[in-house]
Structure 1
Amino acid sequence: MVLVTGGTGLVGAHLLLHLIENGENVRAIYRSENNIQKTKAVFDFYKKTALFEKINWLETDILDIPSLETAFAGITHVYHCAALISFDPKDEEKLRKTNIEGTANMVNFSLAYKIQKFCFVSSIAALGDLAPHEKEITEETDWNPEKHHSDYAISKYGAEMEVWRAQQEGLDVIIVNPGVILGPLSKNKIFDQGSAEIYKKVADGLRFYTLGSTGFITVTDVVKITFQLMKSDIKNERFTLIAANIVFKEILNTVADTLKVKRPSIHAKPFFMHFLWMADWLFSTLFFRRRSITKATAKASYSKNLYSNEKIKTALGTVFSDVYLYIKSTADN
């Protein structure tokens, strides 16, 4: 049997569907009964509602060690997708506890229960930092601790260190580092994080765009490739998963055109983004509200990072989905 953490998130829900479609017996852990409905909504979206009943759900938490004893019973393979995603500096302790300590618990149990193969869904945020002579970020790019990283990036990097530690202790592992993961452009608002936030902001009349760029990939490609890696003889490797490096403006325009709303028309230059995060910090401090834009997210909006996907293409012969066509084809308007 296969164990999936984070099965109520975007990647985890799609992974559960993909696993069941490919004949796997799956157990998924959850913390809240309400969150399970998000996963069911994904199955409903793809008209696979009957398959949802095949999931063996278990209420537990990756930080709750006693309950994980039950979760690992009879498990042979693990897909660890659960993570806290936040760029609010106030969540630093929660990020470290969930993403690092939680991952440490998962790999420790995997070692104890002699799991055959363990997959960790990380992020391109945990990849290295370009040296002056380098142009593309690859799996071999060194992490520079002297450079500024978001708390989220640090927590995912720390989680990877736990996975590699377990690998040295005998656990066969795979790490995947997806870029920005695009889910279905659904009006049903299946999820409220990640690409769903981008879609909602554009639908609500987002006026600003930036010319930064990063790697993008569809959620269906992420789960398909991850499954292929777990079924292959490949082990103890990490792979960057991006379909293409794309300018944020182009993604926003595609979403706007698909939703038939006005495109963002005002270029938010770096100095403007700097002003926004400073203002947001002030308001959040004065009115005790969560941050909506931070120094890390502001910098990311105009940074032009280039990521290489050559390693996964060489390993599996991967042909990625066109993200523009994916956005248009999944819109249910």
Structure 2
Amino acid sequence: MILVTGATGLVGSHLMISLLKENDKVKALYRSEKNMEKVKNVFAFKMQLPLFDKIIWIEGDITDIPSLNTAFENVTTVYHCAALISFDPKDEEKLRKVNIEGTANIVNCCIDFGVKKLCHVSSIAALGDTKEGETNITEDTDWNPEKNHGDYAITKYGAEMEVWRGFQEGLAVVIVNPGVIFGFGFPEQGSSVIFKSLKKGLPFYTKGRTGIIAVEDVVSCMILLMHKNINGQQFTLVAENPTLDAILFTIADGLNVKRPSIYANKTLTSIAWRLDWLLSKLIGKKRSFTRATAKSSHSVDTYDNSKVKSELDYTFKNMTSYFSTLLEAYK
């Protein structure tokens, strides 16, 4: 029996389709029936609606241990996809509770219930920091606690520490660190917000780099890594490392909307994050652009996917072609 946390999110929903197609028995942790409907839409889009009825839904929360006791009954494998994503410093306490404490609960339950293997979905935000003169980030790049990191990155790194603790206590684990994930479903969340912003007329762009990947590739790599005799290993999951302006221009062209036309240099983004902070104080606006995100928008670091490609002999989707398919579905 397989347990999927974060089952009502982008990765979780697409993961369940692949697992159920392999005739695996899947338990899915959910908090709201409303979110279950979004998952059903993904199954319908993938023409796999009959598989949706095979999911064993368990109401629960990774921060609520009693609900996890029910979820973990007869479970042998866990895919931990649940996490809180927020870049608002006001959400620091929530981020710590969900991402660190919640992951600690999952690890403890895995140990207590004799789970054979855990796959933890982390993020490239939790990978290390390059030294001066370096631009390539791998799984072995050291995390520098003295550098400025956002709360999301800190809590995802903290979650990884809980997983490594479980490994030290005898739990078989594998960690994946996906880049920005694109995929069908959940138009109000994650990377899909970029589409919405461009349709509204996003004016600014920067030229920093980031790692991106299709959700189908994330899911495929997770399953392959769990099937192989791999334990205590971490894998960066990115297909490409494009510049941010290239991503925005590609999506804008696909949506037939105006490209962002104002280059936001470091001075402008420095002003922007301070203005965002001021508005949060004056009118209670939720933070969307912080000092950490301003810095990352100009980063030239690239994320190295050679380890997973070598281990799995895997070829990632071409993201330009993938965007074309995704944009047709979005429109």
Q: Same fold (TM over 0.5)?
A: yes
Q: What's the secondary structure of 2:130's corresponding residue? A: coil
Residue equivalent to 2:66: 66
Residue equivalent to 1:273: 269
Residue equivalent to 1:296: 292
Q: Counterpart amino acid of 1:129?
A: D
Q: With structure 2 as the length reference, what TM-score do the two structures score?
A: 0.97
**Identity of aligned pairs, percent?**
55
- Could you say what the CA RMSD is over the residues aligned between the two structures, in angstroms? 1.1
Residue equivalent to 1:137: 137
- 2: CA distance, partners of 1:6 / 1:102: 11
Segment drifting more, 222-231 vs 258-267: 258-267
- 2: CA distance, partners of 1:318 / 1:250: 25
- 2: CA distance, partners of 1:49 / 1:294: 40
Residue equivalent to 1:314: 310
Contact 1:10–1:191 (Cα < 8 Å) also in 2: no
Q: What's the secondary structure of 2:210's corresponding residue? A: strand
- 2: CA distance, partners of 1:131 / 1:283: 34
- 2: CA distance, partners of 1:109 / 1:275: 45
Residue equivalent to 1:151: 151
- Residues 171-221 of structure 1 show CA distances to partners (whole Å, capped at 9, x for unaligned) of 00000000111113xxxx633221111111112221211101111111110
Q: Counterpart amino acid of 2:320?
A: Y
Contact 1:38–1:191 (Cα < 8 Å) also in 2: no
Q: What's the secondary structure of 1:4's corresponding residue? A: strand
Unaligned runs of 5+ in 1: none
Residue equivalent to 1:101: 101
Runs (4+) of structure 1 exceeding 4 A deviation are: none
- 2: CA distance, partners of 1:144 / 1:163: 19
Tell me by how many angstroms 1:133 deviates: 4.8
Residue equivalent to 1:112: 112
- 2: CA distance, partners of 1:288 / 1:322: 41
- Residues 123-146 of structure 1 show CA distances to partners (whole Å, capped at 9, x for unaligned) of 001101112253311000011111
> How many pairs are equivalent?
329
- 2: CA distance, partners of 1:309 / 1:115: 28
Q: What's the secondary structure of 1:213's corresponding residue? A: coil
- Residues 147-175 of structure 1 show CA distances to partners (whole Å, capped at 9, x for unaligned) of 11111011001000000000010000000
Residue equivalent to 2:224: 228
Q: Rate the CA distance shift 1:304–1:133 in 2: closer, same or farther, 3 A.
A: closer
- 2: CA distance, partners of 1:23 / 1:191: 29
Q: Counterpart amino acid of 1:11?
A: V
Q: Rate the CA distance shift 1:50–1:216 in 2: closer, same or farther, 3 A.
A: same
Q: What's the secondary structure of 1:193's corresponding residue? A: coil
- 1: CA distance, partners of 2:189 / 2:301: 22
Match status 1:241 vs 2:266:
no
Aligned with 2:209 (options 186, 202, 213): 213
Match status 1:44 vs 2:44:
yes
Tell me by how many angstroms 1:38 deviates: 1.3
Unaligned runs of 5+ in 2: none
Contact 1:116–1:171 (Cα < 8 Å) also in 2: yes
Q: Counterpart amino acid of 1:192?
A: E
- 2: CA distance, partners of 1:127 / 1:220: 22
Q: Rate the CA distance shift 1:261–1:133 in 2: closer, same or farther, 3 A.
A: closer
Residue equivalent to 1:12: 12
- 1: CA distance, partners of 2:22 / 2:252: 35
Residue equivalent to 2:53: 53
Segment drifting more, 265-274 vs 88-97: 265-274
Contact 2:251–2:323 (Cα < 8 Å) also in 1: yes
- 1: CA distance, partners of 2:86 / 2:153: 10
- 2: CA distance, partners of 1:95 / 1:239: 23
Contact 2:99–2:156 (Cα < 8 Å) also in 1: yes
Segment drifting more, 126-135 vs 306-315: 126-135
Residue equivalent to 1:182: 182
- 2: CA distance, partners of 1:329 / 1:286: 42
- 2: CA distance, partners of 1:156 / 1:30: 21
Q: Counterpart amino acid of 1:259?
A: L
